[in-house]
Structure 1
Amino acid sequence: MPIDDALPALVAALRSEGRVVLQAPPGAGKTTRVPLVLLEASLADLSEGGGRILMLEPRRLATRAAAERMAQSLGEKVGQTVGYRIKGESVVGPATRIEVVTEGILTRMIQSDAELSGVSVVIFDEFHERSLNADLGLALAWEIRGALRPDLKLVVMSATLDAAPVAALLNDAPIVTSEGRAFAVETLHLPKPLAKTIRFEHASADLVAQAAQETEGGILVFLPGEGEIRRVAGLLAGRVSSDITIHTLFGAMSFADQRAAISPAKSGRKIVLATSIAETSLTIQDIQVVVDCGRARRARFDPNSGMSRLVTEPVSRAEAEQRRGRAGRVCAGTCYRLWTKGQEGALPAFAPAEVEAADLTSLVLELALWGAASPDELAFLTPPSAGGFAEAKRLLLELGALDVSGRITPHGRKIAALPVHPRLGHMLLLGGAAGAPLAALIAGRDPLRGAPSDVSLRLKAIENPKEFQRSHPYTLHRAAIQTLRSDAKSLARLVSHIKHSGPKYSTAELAALAYPDRIALRRNGPAPRFLLSGGKGAIMDEVDPLAKLDLLVATDLDGALHEARIRQAIPLSASSLRALFPDQIQWQKTCRWSRRDKRVIARREERLGALVLTEQHWSDAPEEQMAQAALEGIREIGLPRTAVSDRLLARIALFESDGFPQTESQSLLDSAETWLLPHLLGLKTEGQLRNFDPSEALRQMLTWEQTQTLDRLAPASFVTPLGNKVPIDYAGEAPEIAVRLQEMFGVSQHPTVGPTHIPLRITLLSPARKPLQTTADLPGFWATSYVDVRKDMRGRYPKHPWPDDPTQEKPTLRAKPRK
């Protein structure tokens, strides 16, 4: 196999250094060759207390397939030299030396045996996928090697990973690169970008049909999810020749159906419509062609809402290369790409690591169980998201899994021992086997199509599918029902030993225990809009039977950033809510600005999180708290302005470079708590706030020295030679006054303002107060333009003085005396 040339260097590096990073292109054979070669090289020596090789795979299908291929190459059955372990299934025996496991299994093994007794080598296959469990597993294994097991050997393998950062993480581990490729793959791009009017599924089906006409052999098609797979399968029906069989391949299928998709076609050709499950670690027999439709579906966790949402994104270049490699496994192949060569450069180099974007609740619990209060205590290739980490700790504290100092509680240890999300572990520990069907439903997929949101409908379908189908019009997803029934039985067995002396919980109460932050209270108004106890908003379809209810538990939401759509929920009674959370429901006194009522509201509220269950008027609320609420109103409606305050701010703005306060509206609002708050006492309504003049509050922002400087260098008024105060307008490009020309007689030096002595712009007025001339150089005006003004004005206003030399004339507002 192509990987064989690199294996001697791999064995030598592992023997001498105990750690190695292996880069090998897709199809090189690393998954099935490396464990066997390490076993043959006696790197898993029974005499040294080890003996087993663990290899981690990202998916259950890949785990089984890799174990079966290695066992087949040895002429054995799975469970002899090579075995596998996945969630709920273990096929190993006393003679097993190579165990292929899903990534979460390693974490469970480490948490139950910190030395990984009996394990000599841990191989992280397809590490480029950067799953949360793989990153955590590597961090834990590296700490074990450093603190407890210096003999533990680590191998990190990938086809498309940037190896240097991983090698650096492992204390400059050797990098071994295999250049061998199974077979050449020709890559074909679209000649021009798809028109925006073409639907994705139609374009995908067209490209698949084209590939079927132009090539021979099996075709593997990559699509983002089950929905797209089913729609493309429908579009292909009748478009491809009758000797082509269409298979589907996605995670929710039964293993038997998955095996049928990856097995060789019994006759003719086959098309396999698959999700990213087929991207790595699988050799699908007789595939010679790949059609990459260029999209991937990923989970994105929003720590602000505490919700995950599925997003469909363009594939990364690394993922596209992985997919392309599927076409060259068994012979020379062809890869069709649903994008142009030019568009390829805009694709991201790598998909984001799960630790950057996923729900970190399980990770935080595992770290707490390990004794690490912070991810900084372990060597993570990519640090977990700070916001996601904080949100996970908040939830675990609410579930009672962590104490206030962040240490794991006895209840948290029990939760961590269950192979489910901590929400569901908490629910199962309190509710026992009765909660198993609900836990399976929440963790699994929706078994109904076209049904409203009610969780109880789905639980009835799981309990008795035949009876449900007879009495309800909704379509059952048979494979999902089977999986959920099986998962429910497994979960029930896990908690069957727990003795429950507490109350028996209803289904709604169990849901509330799992989702204390998703208890939904209907908002006022006709639309079915809800406020969640965690503080976020949610909406529901108006035609949903649950839409008119006041209180629900939302067990499934789409995670939309603004308002999440409730996809599954169950009604909860107020009495149940109070019985479940007596310690969390508290009376609080609050003053706040009501956006709806446009006024300060003072209330005594009975609250569960963000939900207000009961409220009363708070008649003796402190004035300071009322003023603080009024300040929130100011921040909503904006800082009130008057002509006086605008002039004052314009004056202060001249001195900003001299350490005076900032005068932009946002800066003033940001600092309003220090200068404005004391002046808002007694103001409660929007009208009162809008009529408030902030001038005095603005003046009090200034120190005594600043006030003196402001009044001296940038006064509010210009004092004329006659002693009259003329307001200075600071709002324009330059400070400006308007004054009658005769009042400026005798002024031979132009007046200035501000620290940089900006000349005042003076509009000189006629005796009738009409503009005659605007100047920023009064001496220059007297010497030049005044002559022409005098000629025009002395005939029009003969009773007023128009001297030859205005600089020597006394200022006046009077007309000439009668002779």
Structure 2
Amino acid sequence: MNRPTFPIDALLPQIRASLAEHPRLVLEAPPGAGKTTQVPPALLDEPWLAGQKIVMLEPRRVAARAAAHFMARQRGEVAGDTIGYRIRFDNKVGASTRIEVVTEGILTRMLQDDPMLDGVGVLLFDEFHERHLAADLGLALALDVQAQVRPDLRIVVMSATLDGERLAQFLDAPRLSSAGRSYPVSVAHYPARREEKLEHQTRRAVEHALAQHPGDVLVFLPGQREIARVDALLSPSPTGRGIGERVWRSDGSTSANDFAIPSSGASRHLLPEGEGSEHVDVLQLHGDLPVEQQSRVLQADPDGRRRVVLATNVAESSVTLPGVRVVIDSGLAREPRYDPNSGFARLDVITIAQASADQRAGRAGRVAEGWAYRLWPQSQRLEPQRRPEIAQVELAGLALELAAWGDANLRFVDAPPSGALAAARELLQRLGALDGQAITPLGRRMLALGTHPRLAAMLLAPSTAPERALACDLAALLEARDPLLLRGNRSRSDALAERWQALAAFRSGRVAPDASRSALAALDQASKQWRRRLRLEVAAPSTVPAHALGDLLLHAFPDRIARQHPSDPTRYQLANGRSAKLFDDSALYGEPWIVISELRALRQTQGDRGDAQVLRAAPLDEQRLRVDFPQRFVTEDRVFWDANTRGIAAVRETRFDRIVIESKALAKPDPSRYADALVDAVRQLGLASLPWTPALTQWRARVRCLRMWMPELAQGAATLPELSDAALLASLDGWLKPVLSGKTRLDALSEQELGEALKSHVDWSTRQRIDALAPTRIAVPSGMERSVEYAYDDATDAPVAPVLAVKLQELFGLADTPRIADGRVPLTLHLLSPGGKPLQITQDLRGFWDRTYPEVKKEMKGRYPRHPWPDNPWLAIATHRAKPRGT
């Protein structure tokens, strides 16, 4: 095969030179530049590689396979010789393979199984801009390997649309950019008609493109479902046969695989009346196609026919489709999003980012001038870049990988959200995959399955082959779309058993009227794949006992095991402490125990208890629960705060996790546990439930203000305590619990006891210093002492200026505003009239005397004639009294 030229060729010497000097590199190259297929072979003979392997991460299976085959053909070889690939369920590598193209899960397993990466000299992360979670994890693991044990390992991050400068700074790496191979692309918007479905809008756009422009047409659709619908519209075949291969023939003949485009104006013509007819192939491109069909799409038609390729965003980058001159872009993609209803990341249809839209349009300009039609209104604005998966998916799989690695403090381009990571670890502990922060032997077996930890736990739980086969059915059911169809206004059943029964009926040749044949076929295939992965020789069961599904499902959803409420048969208490309710017509009504695979949080309204809605569940056997999780059944005495009686209550409870199975009142509870219950009450009710006095509130505010005004007092031997709400609530056991000992009610705590508890960790000398630096009263020229008011603003986390409210006459002769905190903080003066009304608020007393006092005197002298209003306040005698009578 003669090697074609690529725009990246001119940059290859710089890439080699950079990697000879630096262990990391950021390479930006637009689609068509050739980075995927030209960079790896260009590095094979580098001295620093020393005969080691090159491993390139390719996010998508189609692209990984295509890239490996293309590079192999360039060398006159086949995949599996010098260049090979490894993807899920397919492996083309041999003893002589030196370039391996792998998908994301494969790379993670390589790193986990051999952190030294023996025999690997460079890792290339292609299409990193897609920001898949596995790619982010792979890069973080690779950086850790490089920093700890393999400083000679090279890491190259490659992308078509990327914030290269930010990434180069993160990696402390050089940044190289390549030109692309592109021609001008005319972009137009082709919006939908009123209430028009996507597939009909797409067909119109395809008809227009074939009639108006030369070349092949590439259509971007969200997923296989939408591809199948558009494909069906472009086909006359009612059976849907021949999907992925349509031929339009000018003679008007049709077959299961053919659709004619004659010159007449029939309603399904793709060319308008009067145009000549031509042969057109319609092909599909997505990750689940057989290899042969994928290969056919990636090569030009041998007979020179035009093609319409219906593709997912797998065609957005990495693979090249020859002959494409027109792109039709739905502006949609299916990407993983965390679904709190199911507990899994689901593939949701989302609007693409502007960077993806630009990249898709660029596909039309690879061989000549092209055209791009966008199926959304021109007024619609897209986000500039796609958000990383790590910020928006459930992180149980990531948390398990980090635990297996043994170090959670890896360097991520975007750190995983702490809340989502904590929730993931809590789930893994329930599943038995983690013991504290450490991975368990079960956790390592779960990790080896390469699926979501919930499913892995369920697949590993059964002890018999028939149960394992049933677990494979359940794994397929949980991962796939619902096989039951909506019928009018009737909602789908909430019984998981009805889905499994529909699957069992399908295997015996029957399809229920409310089930989808295609969905059941996909479920059956997925279950077979799971049985092969688990090396199960048994067939899927045809019948199972009533509780069999729930008895397995509880291992995937231990947090959603639920028991019927004793007083309301439609409500259930969950093991995680929450509650849920059934539909009024639920198929699960009357079941004492269920395990919920899917639920929906309901909007809480006034009087509503905040229950969730059970969407899908299965009954389980309590005896099986006691056998499988004996350690989660506990009986213990509990002393707690009863909000109804506002006092201490004590019961002996039997629980499964947080589900109360039995509760009996205790006549003589342990008095030593009263204080703990009262402390819990304060945590629930807040600090306002304590008997604060104005003086104690002021003392707390003075301490908080001083910590901010004088930072040196927040550290050292005489440290002032942190008295924010958060700090006090976090330390209740230390300062409040001792004074609650022996009490059974919160209102038994006196104001004096609260004050001493709050000040218990402040010694006498520090208290004296507080009084000196933030006095409660201050002497004024009249000889009197007046109160200083303190406040702290929690909203801004800053002190409010302290206030001295004083009658104006009491400050005669005082030039400067009084200060506290060792002179650092001026008081805010509230200057009052003789009647106690505010005349002026100021921190500039000197300015007040000079500028404002004359006007105040003029106005007040007639109103308060018995009080002094001297012309010169600087020389007047300060007083808090009125003038004697007769003066």
> Could you state the TM-score of these two structures normalised by the residue count of structure 1?
0.71
CA separation of 1:261 and 1:578: change in aligned 2, threshold 3 A: farther
Q: How does 1:44-55 map to 2 (within 5 A)?
A: 50=52, 53-55=54-56
Task: Kindly indicate whether residue 309 of structure 2 is the aligned counterpart of residue 277 of structure 1.
Answer: no
Distance 1:513 1:262 in 2: 43
Distance 1:640 1:397, change over 3 A: closer
Pairing 1:735-750 to 2, within 5 Å after superposition: none
RMSD between aligned alpha carbons? 6.0
Deviation at 1:575, TM superposition (A): 1.9
User: What CA distance in whole angstroms lies between the structure 2 residues aligned with 1:648 and 1:123?
Assistant: 64
Match of 1:723 in 2: none
Is 2:496 the counterpart of 1:455? yes
**Corresponding residue number in structure 1 for 2:336:** 299
- Give the match's secondary structure for 1:623: helix
What displacement does 1:25 show? Answer: 0.6
Aligned position for 2:448: 417
Query: Does the 8 Å CA contact 2:203/2:230 hold for their aligned counterparts?
Result: no
Quote the offset at 1:333 in angstroms.
1.9
Aligned to 1:31: 36
State the Cα distance separating 1:215 from its structure 2 match. Answer: 4.5
Secondary structure of 2:471 counterpart = helix
d(CA) in 1 for partners of 2:752, 2:234? 73
> Aligned with 1:108: secondary structure?
helix
Alpha-carbon distance in 1 for matches of 2:440, 2:51: 32
Structure 1 pair 634/609, CA: closer, same or farther in 2 (3 Å)?
same
Separation in 1 of the partners of 2:775 and 2:26? 71
Matched residue, 1:617? 665
Q: Provide the residue aligned with 2:459 in structure 1.
A: 428
Tell me which residue corresponds to 1:84: 85
> Do the aligned partners of 2:636 and 2:653 also contact (CA within 8 Å) in 1?
yes
After TM superposition, give the deviation of residue 144 of structure 1 in Å. 5.6
CA distance in 2: counterparts of 1:187 and 1:140, whole angstroms: 41
Render the CA deviation track for 1:739-770: whole Å, top value 9, x for unaligned: xxxxxxxxx999xx9989999999999xxxxx
Instruction: Identify which of 530, 534, 543 aligns with 1:495.
Output: 534
Give the 3 Å change call, closer, same or farther, for CA 606–217 of structure 1 in structure 2: farther
CA contact (8 A) 1:631 1:680 kept: no
The CA deviation at 1:153 is 5.5
Match of 1:586 among 634, 638, 652: 634
Any idea what SS the aligned residue of 2:524 has? helix
CA 1:699–1:170 in structure 2 vs 1: closer, same or farther (change >3 Å)? closer
Pair 176,697 (structure 1): closer, same or farther in 2 beyond 3 Å: closer
* 1:552 equivalent in alignment to 2:584: no
**Is the Cα–Cα contact under 8 Å of residues 652 and 661 in structure 1 kept in the other structure?**
no
Check conservation: 1:125, 1:157, Cα contact below 8 A: yes
- For residues 521-541 of structure 1, the C-alpha deviation after alignment (integer angstroms, 9 at most, x for no partner) is 456786966554345566665
User: Which residue of structure 1 lines up, in the alignment, with residue 681 of structure 2?
Assistant: 630
| Structure 1 residues 783 and 353: alpha-carbon distance in aligned structure 2, compared to 1, 3 A threshold | closer
Specify whether residues 640 and 254 from structure 1 end up closer, same or farther in structure 2 by C-alpha distance, changes over 3 A only: same
Partner of 1:724: none
Task: Provide the C-alpha distance between the structure 1 equivalents of 2:724 and 2:122, rounded to a whole number of angstroms.
Answer: 63
Q: In the alignment, residue 277 of structure 1 is paired with which amino acid?
A: V
Counterpart-to-counterpart distance in 2, 1:675 and 1:430:
47
Aligned to 2:109: 108
Q: Is the 8 A contact 1:400 1:412 kept in 2?
A: yes
Deviation at 1:577, TM superposition (A): 1.6
Question: Aligned ranges for residues 777-796 of structure 1 at < 5 Å?
Answer: none
| Structure-1 residue corresponding to 2:884 | 808
Corresponding position: 1:185 with 2:185: yes
Distance change in 2, residues 1:12/1:89 (3 Å): closer
Aligned to 1:328: 365
Candidates 631, 636, 652, aligned match of 1:604: 652
Deviates more, 1:73-82 or 1:571-580: 73-82
Alpha carbons 1:13, 1:19 under 8 Å: kept = no
Q: How far does residue 188 in structure 1 lie from its aligned partner after superposition? A: 3.9
Relative to structure 1, is the Cα distance of residues 557 and 807 closer, same or farther in structure 2, using a 3 angstrom cutoff?
A: same
How far 1:26 moved relative to its partner? 0.9
Of residues 557, 582, 586, the one that matches 1:515 is 557
Q: Is the 8 A contact 2:804 2:827 kept in 1?
A: no
Equivalent position amino acid for 2:550 in 1? A
User: Does the CA-based 8 Å contact 1:301-1:357 persist in structure 2?
Assistant: yes
Aligned to 1:639: 688
**Aligned 1:596-745 pairs, distance under 5 A:** 601-619=649-667, 620=669, 622-635=673-686, 639=688, 657=705, 697=754, 701=758
Within 1, Cα distance between the matches of 2:744 and 2:309?
67
Aligned partner of 2:13 in structure 1 is 9
Give me the identity figure in percent: 34
1:184-203 equivalence runs, <5 A: 184-188=184-188, 201=198
The correspondence for 1:354, drawn from 389, 403, 408, is 389
Task: Give the CA deviation at 1:86.
Answer: 1.8
Q: Residue 260 of structure 2 corresponds to which residue in structure 1?
A: none
Q: What are the within-5 Å matches in structure 2 for residues 380-391 of structure 1? A: 380-391=412-423
Counterpart-to-counterpart distance in 1, 2:56 and 2:65: 12
**Which residue matches 2:438?**
406
Is the 2:8–2:179 contact (alpha carbons within 8 Å) kept by the matching residues of 1?
Answer: no
Q: CA deviation at 1:513?
A: 1.8
2:710 matched residue in structure 1: none
Count of residues paired in the alignment: 753
**What is the CA–CA distance in structure 2 between the aligned matches of 1:175 and 1:556, rounded to whole Å?**
46
Structure 1 residues 335-344 or 388-397, which shifts more? Answer: 335-344
- Is the Cα contact below 8 Å between 1:639 and 1:665 reproduced in 2? no
Residue 84 of structure 1: SS of its match in structure 2? strand
Moved more, 73-82 or 663-672: 663-672
Cα deviation code 1:302-361 (max 9, x no counterpart) = 9999764666655334333332332233433223446688875x7243x33334444444
C-alpha contact (below 8 Å) 1:645/1:694 kept by paired residues: yes
In structure 1, distance between residues paired with 2:756 and 2:578: 40
Secondary structure of the residue aligned to 2:409 is helix
Identify the residue that residue 319 of structure 1 maps to in structure 2.
356
Which of residues 311, 323, 326 in structure 2 aligns to 1:289?
326
Q: CA deviation at 1:701?
A: 4.8
- Partners of 1:511 and 1:189 lie apart in 2 by 48
Which 5+ residue runs of structure 2 have no aligned equivalent?
236-265, 272-279, 463-467, 487-491, 539-544, 605-610, 708-719, 778-786, 792-801, 821-825, 842-853, 867-880
* CA apart distance, 1:24: 1.5
Contact 2:788-2:803 within 8 A present in 1 as well: no
Q: Is 1:473 the equivalent of 2:513?
A: yes
The answer on whether the counterparts of 1:79 and 1:92 sit within 8 Å (CA) in structure 2 is: yes
Task: Specify the code of the residue in structure 2 equivalent to 1:605.
Answer: E
CA distance in 1, matches of 2:430, 2:26: 40
- Secondary structure of 2:461's counterpart equals helix
**Residues 256/391 of structure 1: CA separation in 2 closer, same or farther (3 Å cut):** farther
Answer yes or no: is the 8 Å Cα contact 1:80–1:93 preserved in 2. Answer: yes
Contact 1:208 1:221 in 2 (8 A): no
Q: Does 1:571 align with 2:619?
A: yes
Q: Secondary structure at the match of 1:277?
A: helix
How far has the Cα of 1:475 moved from its partner? 2.5
Q: Report matched runs for 1:331-342 at 5 Å.
A: 331-337=368-374
Distance across 1 between alignment mates of 2:838 and 2:358: 76
Out of 396, 402, 407, the position equivalent to 1:374 is 407
SS of equivalent to 1:157: strand
**CA positional deviation for 1:375:** 3.5
1:440 to 476, 482, 485: 476
> CA contact under 8 A between 2:130 and 2:388: conserved in structure 1?
yes
Taking the aligned partners of 1:684 and 1:274, their CA distance within structure 2 comes to 70
Alpha-carbon separation, structure 1, partners of 2:729 and 2:151 = 59
Secondary structure at 2:688's aligned position in 1? Answer: coil
The letter for the 1-side match of 2:620 is L
